[in-house]
Amino acid sequence: MADVTVHPHGNRWAVATSDTSSPVREFETREAAVSSARLLAEGGTVDVVDEDPSTLAGQEDDVDPAGTVGTSDDGMKDDGHLRSEQGGL
């Protein structure tokens, strides 16, 4: 009989038990996470928290949605140019 917590985890929903430090399962929707948590709790309590206790919250805000930051003339982002071209062997 485990006590289970459901909380946002980045852009997903996590299910965590009281005896683990990291989520045991993750789901795309809150409803799926709560349903799984009820089965996992086996009669124990299920607590739903609306704030992400991890540091993953807000990371999506750091991404440029238009994909324009760091884009070169050929349309590739800077991280696409990590390797330089080498001549033939």
β-strands 12-17, 4-9: how paired?
antiparallel
Structural domain includes residue 80: no
State the pLDDT at residue 59. Answer: 52
Range of the domain at 34: 1-50
Q: How many domains does the chain have?
A: 1
Burial class, 6, CB count within 10 angstroms (exposed 0-12 / middle 13-18 / buried 19+):
buried
List average pLDDT for each run of 10 residues in the chain, which is 89 residues long: 84 90 91 94 90 66 50 56 64
| 56 neighbors 10 (Cβ within 8 angstroms) | yes
State the pLDDT at residue 18. Answer: 82
State the pLDDT at residue 44. Answer: 87
Structural domain includes residue 65: no
Structural domain includes residue 63: no
| 13 neighbors 26 (Cβ within 8 angstroms) | yes
Structural domain includes residue 67: no
Structural domain includes residue 68: no
